Amino acid sequence: MNQLTLLNILIIFEAILLLVLSLIVFSLKKQSSREKNVVKSDTTVLKEDFLPIIVHEMRSPLSIINGAADLLVKTTDSLSVEQIHTLLNQVKVSSTTLLDMVGSILDISKMESGKFELNKKMSNINSVLDDECSYFEPLAKIKEMSLECTSNVDIPDFSFDPDRIKQVLNNLISNAIKFSSEKDKVTISARKEGNKCVVEVCDIGVGVPEEEKQLLFQKFFQTSNQGGRKGTGLGLFISKGIVEAHGGKIWVEDNEPKGTKMIFQIPINTN
Amino acid sequence: MPKKIMFVEDDEGFYNIFSVPLKMKGYEIVRVAEGSSAVEKIITENPDLVLLDIVLPGTSGLDILKELRERDETKSTVVIMLTNFGSDENISRAMKCGANDYLMKYNIVPSELPDKIAAYLGEPQEFAVKMTES
């Protein structure tokens, strides 16, 4: 491992830190001006919670990047090649996590200020489903789970934002896999109901308690049966924002005989 | 024989950065990535020290600690909590349950962890050759 490579790693690390700090300062200023002008309501209380929670969530990947960089700098000569690869890969993984979080914050910021925009184009929902299933296939394989993707040829190409719908599916499928046991099955399907496209992601995992179903799409909400599984509690909130920006809706139902059925529908607009 | 440390940690990132300097110092590290099987594995492996996270899939670190202290085989095993949660309440609960120490992941750089461990296990014999295990 030469000094130049390490220097590059540290420069990237510093850039990420600066980005995060800038974001935090920006959020603080925004929150401060909001507090001066807006009468407090339940919604603003929720907004005030945002900063400490997201900062807490960011500390884990930042600490890991910091720790890996510290080892790479202080113990370069003692590390084996495999250990260097492990640490560098960890910097990459944690940086990606951090960037995803920054992306989520920006999405939420845009949604809450009414500036969230879609990039709609004529697209095929079956292709989006197939892409997502292929993406999650390796993860499902690790858990010895089966991922069943059912296409529906009756659904014509229609106008939606395929990247944003992929983001919704990404969140729903990763949750379904996360809350399922080994060898469970996750089913993803799409169907046409009138002028609406209905997409379902079903699992046979732990399910969502009845009293928590209404809270599931709130910012930072985590179900009581997480069982130590970690998450930011932002994914479903953003998914709801994306689906609603399409003029659709998203909800949760029990999957019979067990598990969860996450459903969203968006209008089929072929113009 | 190298001293054995059981590292109960579900987050692969934290496991990677904290296990590397310990392995470099010559400790044998055995990882448990979830809580429900931790007590049984600790009894089977009979480590010299346990590094224990609090938020874990299955069973929490505090419940694991309580059970370790109730079992004859593990009641005197050194247990160091290594966690993100630094509230006074959590620290107090862990110490009451019998933790030997409570370390915050944010406050300790990985290269300093072996010194903390050495305070309980003594200085390990450093490897003369470079470790090849990641």
Structure tokens at B5: 């440390």
Structure tokens at A211: 């009293």
- Evaluate if residue A39 carries a pLDDT over 80: no
Where is average pLDDT lowest: A16-25, A179-188, A189-198, A216-225?
A16-25
Q: What is the mean pLDDT of residues A180-188?
A: 88
Could you give the ipTM of this predicted complex? 0.80
- Evaluate if residue A34 carries a pLDDT over 90: no
Percentage, residues of chain B above pLDDT 70: 92
A203-254 per-position pLDDT tens digit: 998 888 888 888 889 887 877 666 555 667 889 999 999 999 999 999 999 8
CA distance B45 to chain A (A): 24
Q: Shortest CB distance from B58 goes to which of A85, A90, A228?
A: A228
| β pairing state of A196-203 and A185-193 | antiparallel
Q: Is A59 within 8 Å of chain B by CB?
A: yes
CA B21 to CA B134: how far, in whole Å? Answer: 11
Chain B interface mutation, best of A71, A79, A179, highest count of B Cβ atoms under 10 Å: A71
Whether residues A74 and B111 touch (CB distance < 8 A) is answered with yes
Q: What is the mean pLDDT of chain B?
A: 89
pLDDT at A36: 46
pLDDT at B131: 42
pLDDT at A215: 87
- Evaluate if residue A191 carries a pLDDT over 70: yes
A87 to B17, B129, B132: CA distances (angstroms): 7, 20, 14
CB pairs under 8 A between A and B: 83
Structure tokens at B122: 């003594």
Neighbour-count burial of A197, counting CB atoms closer than 10 A to its CB (0-12 exposed, 13-18 middle, 19+ buried): buried
Q: Is A190:A197 a contact under the CB 8 Å cutoff?
A: yes
CA distance A85 to chain B (A): 8
User: Higher model confidence: residue B28 or residue A182?
Assistant: B28
CA B93 to CA B121: how far, in whole Å? Answer: 24
Structure tokens at A85: 């690869």
A253-263 per-position pLDDT tens digit: 988 888 899 99
A176 to A8, A208, A240: CA distances (angstroms): 38, 11, 16
CB-based contacts of B131: which residues, under 8 Å, 6+ apart? A80, A83, B23, B24
pLDDT level of residue A182 (50, 70, 90 thresholds): confident
Percentage, residues of chain A above pLDDT 90: 44
CA distance B59 to chain A (A): 8
pLDDT level of residue B84 (50, 70, 90 thresholds): confident
Where is average pLDDT lowest: A82-86, A179-183, B123-127?
B123-127
pLDDT at A17: 65
In this prediction the pTM is: 0.72
pLDDT at B89: 85
pLDDT level of residue A270 (50, 70, 90 thresholds): confident
Which among A231, A230, A235 is positioned nearest to A250, based on CA atoms?
Answer: A235
A196-205 per-position pLDDT tens digit: 999 999 999 8
- Evaluate if residue A12 carries a pLDDT over 50: yes
Which among A184, A118, A185 is positioned nearest to A150, based on CA atoms?
Answer: A185
- Evaluate if residue B27 carries a pLDDT over 90: yes
Q: Is A115:A107 a contact under the CB 8 Å cutoff?
A: no
Structure tokens at B88: 């006074």
Hey, what's the torsion of the CAs at B37, B38, B43, B46, to 10 degrees?
Answer: 140
Which among A177, A157, A156, A164 is positioned nearest to A248, based on CA atoms?
Answer: A164
- Evaluate if residue A70 carries a pLDDT over 60: yes
Q: What is the mean pLDDT of chain A?
A: 83
How many helices (H) and strands (E) chain A has is answered by 6, 7
| B132: nearest CA partner in chain A | A80
pLDDT at A168: 96
Whether residues A75 and B111 touch (CB distance < 8 A) is answered with yes
CA B86 to CA A207: how far, in whole Å? Answer: 31
pLDDT level of residue A44 (50, 70, 90 thresholds): very low
A87-114 per-position pLDDT tens digit: 999 999 999 988 888 888 889 889 989 9
Where is average pLDDT lowest: A91-105, A129-143, A237-251, B113-127?
B113-127
Structure tokens at A77: 């000569």
| B54: nearest CA partner in chain A | A228
pLDDT at B119: 93
